[in-house]
Amino acid sequence: MYHASVSYNTAPVGGSRLEYIAHSVNAPSYNASSTTITPSYAHSLFRPSISSFTYRNEEPVSHAYRADTVTYHLFNTKPEYHFQPDNFLKPGKHGIFVGKAEEIREHIEDAFFKVMNKPFPSDVKITVCEEKEFRKIAPSSGVVGLSINRSQHGLLSEIFVLNDYLGRVMLTIGHELGHVLTSPLENQQDEEAKAYAFSFAWMDVIKEHDIAGLGDALVSENPAHNGLHDVAYSFVSRLLKSGKDAWEVYLELIHGDNNIKHTLF
């Protein structure tokens, strides 16, 4: 998983939106002279246009955002730090191949509502990309999902997922949603723990309600050791084993009531 906190206004002349994002991800910061949001999103949340760079929301963003000149900083992305959905899927239980987000829109909205008890937000956009397009922004072959979190600015956040089998795509979307629904946490391990906590809540409702027919396809395994994901996973797992549920852990993290340093060290 790559995770970035970034916002920008317009694509370079002659370039696609993903090429522009790739350019921004490779830069330490991006400066924008103005920021605009068109007020109508016209149900295009799950209908991405790779060549378009206009973002439209169905309803006003909850937080006002005004600036004459804005500098957006990206986290340094590290290819070895990415979510691996196969760690949580039984072999041979991946489901059908998913080429577009619209194909699984009802499953995403169903799972989201059962976790959050509210409709899918209009300020989060999901794009399922073909590999050629996806590698423009995530060149590492092991990366299957990327999120750009603009929630702290009151702007549209985006999730990009490599087209793949149903189970992999659904779990990757759940993990990336755990990043973008709230502002990024300062500590990267806490941020990953936040995403894992949401992932577990996401997987719980998929299993309980057999969403997308994946009810018996999910398992819980420890991800590969890399200093970020394994620590975050261990932290969340320890809290779950203590009797807390995944949603409670997620809320504690986003509200600052718990963190990895306090619990593990």
Per the structure, the complete domain to which residue 72 belongs is given by 2-264
pLDDT tens by residue, 43-100: 334 433 332 222 233 333 333 322 332 323 333 333 334 678 888 898 888 899 999 9
Q: Report the pLDDT value the prediction gives residue 237, as an integer from 0 to 100.
A: 72
Give the rounded percent of residues in the chain with a pLDDT score beyond 90.
41
Span 238-265, average pLDDT:
73
Q: Report the pLDDT value the prediction gives residue 2, as an integer from 0 to 100.
A: 47
CB of 112 closer than 8 Å to CB of 83: no
Domain count, the chain: 1
**pLDDT higher at 87 or 15:** 87
Q: Whose CA is closest to 193, among 145, 257, 122, 116?
A: 257
pLDDT tens by residue, 197-251: 899 899 999 999 999 999 999 986 554 444 444 676 677 777 767 778 777 877 8
Q: What's this model's pTM, rounded to 2 decimal places?
A: 0.66
Reported as a pLDDT band with limits 50, 70 and 90, residue 257 is: confident
**pLDDT higher at 181 or 40:** 181
DSSP annotation string for the chain: -EEE------PPTT--HHHHHHHHHTSSEEEES----BS--TT-TT---TT----B-SS--SS----SSEEEE-PPP-TT----GGGGB-TT---SEE-SGGGGHHHHHHHHHHHHSSPPPTTEEEEEE-HHHHTTT--STT--EEEE--GGGTS-EEEEEE-EEHHHHHHHHHHHHHHHTSPPPSSHHHHHHHHHHHHHHHHHHHHHHTGGG-TTTB---PPPP-SSHHHHHHHHHHHHHTT--HHHHHHHHHTTS--HHHHH-
